[in-house]
Amino acid sequence: MVIPVQNNASDFYIDRYGKFILKPEHITSSPRHSAHAVCIHNHALLLSRPADNPIWELPGGGIEDEESVSNTLIREIYEETGLILSDAPTVKLIYSQNIKYYADERQLFWDYSMGFYALESEWDIRKDQWLAPGAGCIVQWAAISQLHEFPICSSHFPAILLGICHFSLVG
């Protein structure tokens, strides 16, 4: 017996937990371009997460009109972590992907173009974990050897692996 499929694959979006969400027909998705930073210092990866959410992410977010990738990363790192970059960072695209993403916290469906950048900068680090003042995000320098203990946004996995490889080759 053949069961007819009523939805095609393009109707499904993925959320930060890796779950597939069916986009209702009456909802229109929006394009979104983002930049995310892979920052490694002393064998630790910079991660953040909203205080009310268990999923860790790379700092980053939407690229605003007329904004460069470098400026997006500087702004997003400050907004999500409270860290201020004192110099112009060196950024290198290490991974990009287009996904259909459901932003559960905003209840929005995005046709998402994500760029992941190795960000090389001098870091003024005084502690391993803190609460970012403006965004209410918990921020942590997570030891690479302990990343298996962190629930990480599924769409960030490939970039994290490539970032670890990048930094092990250049540093």
Q: Token pair for residue 46?
A: 């910079």
Calculate the CA 9 to chain-centre distance.
Answer: 24
Half-sphere exposure of 53 (CA within 13 A, CB side): 19
Whether residue 145 lies inside any domain: the answer is yes
The tokens describing 151, both together, are: 């629930």
The three-class DSSP label of residue 155 is helix
Integer Cα distance of 165 and 151 in angstroms: 20
Per-residue pLDDT tens, the chain, 171 aa: give them.
554 455 566 789 998 888 999 999 899 999 999 999 999 988 899 999 988 889 999 999 999 999 999 999 999 998 888 888 767 778 999 999 999 999 888 899 999 999 999 988 776 666 666 667 666 789 999 999 999 999 998 889 999 999 999 888 765
To which residue do tokens 């992410």 refer? Answer: 57
* Residue 60 phi, psi dihedral angles, 5° rounding: 160, 180
**Four-CA torsion 167, 116, 134, 13, nearest 10 degrees:** -140
Give the pLDDT of residue 84: 81
Residue 85: per-residue pLDDT:
77
| 21, part of any domain | no
70 within domain boundaries: yes
Q: Which domain holds residue 137?
A: 29-170
Q: What confidence score (pLDDT) does residue 50 get?
A: 86
**Is the residue at 14 inside a domain?**
no
In a domain, residue 138? The reply is yes
pLDDT of residue 116: 97
The number of domains in the chain is 1
Angle at CA 137, nearest 5°, toward 41 and 36?
Answer: 55
* 22 within a domain of the structure (yes/no): no
The CATH number covering residue 82 comes to 3.90.79.10
- Maximum separation of any 2 CA atoms in the chain, in Å: 65
| Residue 80 counted as domain residue | yes
Residues across the chain: 171
Q: Is residue 6 a part of any domain in this protein?
A: no
